[in-house]
Structure 1
Amino acid sequence: MPLESTIYLDESGNDGPNYISAQDPFYVLGGWIVPDRKIVDATVLMERFRQAHSSQTFDLKFKMFRRRPYLLCELMTKLGEIGLVPMFVLAEKRYCIAGKIVETFLDPYYSSKLRGHFGVDLEAKREIANTLYERLPTSVLNEFAASYREPSQTGFESVLSRVVASCREHVNAEVAELMLGSEDRLGDIAAAELHAVDAFGKGSATINAPCLISMAMLIEQLGRKHDISPQRIVHDEQGPYQTDFARIFQSFLSAPEEHRFQLEGMDVPFGAIRNINTLEFQKSEQQPLVQAADLLAGSIAHVAKKLVGEESLHVQESELAMFAFLPMYVPQLRLANPVCSERMLKRIGGAIREKMGISETDESSNSHAEQTRWTSTLPPGDMIPLLPARGSAAKPKGHPDHRIKIDLPFYSIANEDRELVLLLPPDVSMAQTQRDQRMYLLWTDKALAEGFLSDQDWVGHSVVEFGPPELDEFIELLRQGSQWTDWVYFQFPQPHGHMPIKRLADDLERVWQRSKRLFQTGLASEVYRQHEFDGEMVYSALMGTGDYVAIRISDGLRGSGDTREEALGDLQKTIGDASSVGQ
């Protein structure tokens, strides 16, 4: 039976509608899940802590303990021992500005260049937001944030021009062109933002509002999974925004279940709140458990600020980081939503690993990453970026490039049931061979495949083709085949060599998934371009590695470069060299 619980919340880094803050680069909404039967025990514990360490005040704040983090670690340990569970939403303000640029100028409802699927491809939006976070100058991000505080068509026109120019210079031409897709609808975008303020008040334009909704969604999910039975949320007083936040919360209580939308790149898994009864606001000096939430939120903000500034954590701060970020690493429970850049997530993970003595490649460390993948701000490691920034795959001098090129379609040999033939050594049975003695055969030249088959006495077999339409089937066949062998062999019997079958399946799936996502979201029109050289068809593409290729369709001649223009120029040179050799 899930415990009836109250969630006590407080915040750190509250700058209202101001997303620009060098002093407070993070906004944190943190708190404790308190089983109702433990409220008295927790309140008594907090009172004893106050009397022991700050008896002259009735409102404990993190800043009182900034230089005594060991006391906060002791307190959090004791709160945990009596059954309290921490949770938080961590918003990196610079990343949130980048995310807001994506939400504003790359909304498929207003953009002529995007399809509706882009709106639900959170990984794509997070990828672009992270690129803007890393590549755009702070002055451009700040200019957008200032414009967003007072939305108007004129203001958006001015800042869009700056964002587009900066994307061309620091990111790539493709992202810049995508931004221009909303150029004709800036008046409508500004009107929509103003309508939200009219409907929910100025509080809806603050970073606090989406973080409060995100926190409510975390709590709602715990309730729907019957991990707890959340009765109410108790939040520190919110001054002029308190009425606005109450109105926003009420809208979720009365919303239809099918209602859906995204906020700041955050996943909103439910359209309505059905498991939380009320949102209350109480003065922190009158509620010790709200003070406990302040101590948690302040601890998270303090450590996060040092990490993003690449400052070293002293021993006690490392211990505090373990306690503060613990909700990110609890298996099976979603207790945290870090809305942060990839860089910041890596630093949090690095601090935890260092404290635990785990190397970056350790399996247990990787399992932590798997458990918290849902919080990621970037595509997971098995996804190829859709719109990587120019030069993002640059390698140090002397670093080998191990990429290989395999042209579709593939050809193989299959029986009447389209089961691929598994080649064994001569005159032995399947049971007499080991995995490394068996292999599947693949060709990129149909004539070679047909020539090999004609030399065999196999009845009911034929050469089968696997092009783009059959790629999903082909990947599945490779995965099924991996239970029998570790290898595929290309261009048999020519000496092109072996390749691990699982690696081939994984690489093909990653490339294929990128292609499908590009077309589903509408990004393909920017990534792939068609040209004509001397009457022949040429295609150019932005690769997942951040560089460009150009291909002449008639013979597969290729060029490459750091820009599309360089790739096309390299192809022209290659064509010229080939013509000279032919003469």
Structure 2
Amino acid sequence: MTIHNATVFCDESGNTGANLLDRDQPLFVVGGWLVNDNCHEMAEGLVEEAHKLLHPPDGELHGVRLLHTSRGIMGMRQLIRALLMVYCAPICQIIEKRFLLAVTLYEFYLDVRFNKNTPTSIDNDWEQKHVFGEAVYRLPDDLLTQFAQTHSSLDKQLVLETLRDITRALTLQSDDDLASLLIGSIPYIDDIIDYHKFGRTHFDSITLNAPNVASFHMFFHSLEQIGREAEIPRLTLIHDENPQFQNTFQKVFEHFRDDPRDDSYREGPWSQVFLGFRSLKDLRFANSKNEPLLQAADIFTCMLHKYAVNIYKGIPNSPTLTEVAGMFLKEPPECPAIVRIITSDQFCTKLKTFK
């Protein structure tokens, strides 16, 4: 059996920069299609057929625009089903921004290197980390907003004030154990701030605080894992052009791809981190107008994003959106999608409940 090289076409939906508490855009989706070289021509042909059916005014399929009409939604559904029939594999991550902010908060103050109260065993205790994330997730919006500003500025006084406000709030909601652990970071605040300032010598705080980089980081490690397990000799990732982030994306990608250690470790229940890539070798950026399968990635991520946001806001979904989402979000999966849902338990349950 010949094992072919493959390309992943990737796009994002729900970008609101560093505002992780945006009520209008509470979720961030990154995903696309893994296409084997031997299926590439057929897959592009299916996108061209969708063009003939939908007649996009500027010659490009845009998921956000197509979602406004029933004809557009049906055309998106048809294209997704057709791509599955030619063995294109959909891959995506659905991230709740508020939960991502909660995880960032406890990791900021509970880093085992700078908090002697934090047990070293926590690095591999994903269930406990998730419990901590849920506790911080329940904090009032004003406190999470305060931490977001703290994380961006790294002002020492604000870092300490935020820590004290958060520990008081956690105690009030009976999360005393977490509050006690967080207090252990007080003697090491200078070290925490210096560490994060050093990490920003190459990247601005707006870029680092946005969900894009963290999501992309998890996504390309997922692709490396897929490539290894499927024994794909060479996997290429093509991302839609993104002037704000692509320089950072390239640096982060090359940092892990070129690491000489050839090792791996678990970063969390969602991601295996690889130091040195064996399969995922290339990252490129392209204009979706010139890459039909980037348009297919846009359609896939837009449909899942729209469905998930409607669930989040309590808005009824159309039968077509529900049908498409059900193909990828039901457990066990009914297609070869690799979907990572990084959210609070409450929202994850809602997302996977189909009536």
User: Would you call these one fold, judging by a TM-score over 0.5?
Assistant: yes
The CA deviation at 1:150 is 2.4
Change (3 A) 1:54 1:188: farther
The CA deviation at 1:259 is 5.8
> Are 2:290 and 1:290 aligned?
no
Q: Which aligned pairs between 1:432-471 and structure 2 lie closer than 5 A? A: none
Question: Using the alignment, how far apart are the partners of 1:82 and 1:237 within structure 2?
Answer: 26
Is the CA contact 1:233–1:279 (under 8 Å) kept in the aligned structure 2?
Answer: yes
Aligned to 2:250: 246
Give a deviation string over 1:477-497, Cα, whole Å, max 9, x none: xxxxxxxxxxxxxxxxxxxxx
> Are 2:45 and 1:44 aligned?
yes
Question: Using the alignment, how far apart are the partners of 2:81 and 2:327 within structure 1?
Answer: 8
> Are 2:304 and 1:300 aligned?
yes
Aligned to 2:117: 113
Aligned to 2:262: 257
Change (3 A) 1:321 1:226: closer
Question: Using the alignment, how far apart are the partners of 1:52 and 1:12 within structure 2?
Answer: 24
Q: Which SS does the other structure have where 1:198 is aligned?
A: coil
Aligned to 1:33: 34
Question: Using the alignment, how far apart are the partners of 1:60 and 1:299 within structure 2?
Answer: 13
Q: Which SS does the other structure have where 2:94 is aligned?
A: strand
The CA deviation at 1:250 is 0.3
Letter of the aligned partner of 1:63 in structure 2? V
Q: Which aligned pairs between 1:92-491 and structure 2 lie closer than 5 A? A: 92-133=96-137, 135-200=138-203, 202=205, 203-226=207-230, 228-255=232-259, 256-258=261-263, 260=265, 262=267, 266-325=270-329, 329=333, 335-351=338-354, 354=355
Change (3 A) 1:328 1:92: farther
Give a deviation string over 1:119-149, Cα, whole Å, max 9, x none: 221221111102222x211221122122222
The CA deviation at 1:271 is 2.7
Is the CA contact 1:86–1:335 (under 8 Å) kept in the aligned structure 2?
Answer: yes
Q: Which SS does the other structure have where 2:28 is aligned?
A: strand
The CA deviation at 1:88 is 0.3
Q: Which SS does the other structure have where 1:284 is aligned?
A: coil
Question: Using the alignment, how far apart are the partners of 2:334 and 2:105 within structure 1?
Answer: 32
Change (3 A) 1:309 1:328: farther
Change (3 A) 1:155 1:260: farther
Question: Using the alignment, how far apart are the partners of 1:254 and 1:201 within structure 2?
Answer: 23
Q: Which SS does the other structure have where 2:22 is aligned?
A: coil
Question: Using the alignment, how far apart are the partners of 2:287 and 2:263 within structure 1?
Answer: 35
Aligned to 1:441: none
The CA deviation at 1:173 is 2.1
The CA deviation at 1:334 is 7.4
Is the CA contact 1:328–1:336 (under 8 Å) kept in the aligned structure 2?
Answer: no
Is the CA contact 1:26–1:305 (under 8 Å) kept in the aligned structure 2?
Answer: yes
The CA deviation at 1:185 is 1.5
The CA deviation at 1:323 is 3.5
Change (3 A) 1:216 1:281: same
Letter of the aligned partner of 2:128 in structure 1? A
The CA deviation at 1:261 is 6.8
Is the CA contact 2:303–2:321 (under 8 Å) kept in the aligned structure 1?
Answer: no
Question: Using the alignment, how far apart are the partners of 2:350 and 2:109 within structure 1?
Answer: 29
Question: Using the alignment, how far apart are the partners of 1:273 and 1:336 within structure 2?
Answer: 21
The CA deviation at 1:53 is 0.8
Is the CA contact 2:89–2:337 (under 8 Å) kept in the aligned structure 1?
Answer: no
The CA deviation at 1:246 is 0.3
Give a deviation string over 1:136-190, Cα, whole Å, max 9, x none: 1122112212222222322211211221111011232222111111112222222
Is the CA contact 1:237–1:284 (under 8 Å) kept in the aligned structure 2?
Answer: yes
Change (3 A) 1:287 1:348: same
Question: Using the alignment, how far apart are the partners of 1:29 and 1:209 within structure 2?
Answer: 11
Aligned to 1:365: none
Give a deviation string over 1:361-384, Cα, whole Å, max 9, x none: xxxxxxxxxxxxxxxxxxxxxxxx
Q: Which SS does the other structure have where 1:2 is aligned?
A: coil
Question: Using the alignment, how far apart are the partners of 2:77 and 2:337 within structure 1?
Answer: 22
Letter of the aligned partner of 2:106 in structure 1? V
Letter of the aligned partner of 1:277 in structure 2? K
Q: Which SS does the other structure have where 2:200 is aligned?
A: helix
Change (3 A) 1:216 1:330: farther
Q: In percent, how many aligned pairs have the same letter? A: 21
Unmatched 5+ stretches in structure 2:
none
Change (3 A) 1:330 1:324: closer
Unmatched 5+ stretches in structure 1:
355-583
Question: Using the alignment, how far apart are the partners of 1:80 and 1:251 within structure 2?
Answer: 33
The CA deviation at 1:345 is 1.5
Is the CA contact 1:76–1:323 (under 8 Å) kept in the aligned structure 2?
Answer: no
Change (3 A) 1:87 1:260: same
Once superposed, what is the RMSD of the aligned Cα atoms? 2.2
Change (3 A) 1:12 1:328: farther
The CA deviation at 1:215 is 1.0
Change (3 A) 1:41 1:259: closer
Is the CA contact 1:97–1:145 (under 8 Å) kept in the aligned structure 2?
Answer: yes
Question: Using the alignment, how far apart are the partners of 1:71 and 1:147 within structure 2?
Answer: 45
Is the CA contact 1:20–1:93 (under 8 Å) kept in the aligned structure 2?
Answer: yes
Is the CA contact 1:12–1:27 (under 8 Å) kept in the aligned structure 2?
Answer: yes
Is the CA contact 1:299–1:324 (under 8 Å) kept in the aligned structure 2?
Answer: no
> Are 2:95 and 1:91 aligned?
yes
> Are 2:56 and 1:73 aligned?
no
Is the CA contact 1:152–1:191 (under 8 Å) kept in the aligned structure 2?
Answer: no
Q: Which SS does the other structure have where 2:112 is aligned?
A: coil
Greater C-alpha radius of gyration: 1
The aligned length equals: 349
Change (3 A) 1:171 1:297: farther
Give a deviation string over 1:324-382, Cα, whole Å, max 9, x none: 53697258x7712211111122112212xx2xxxxxxxxxxxxxxxxxxxxxxxxxxxx
Is the CA contact 2:27–2:97 (under 8 Å) kept in the aligned structure 1?
Answer: yes
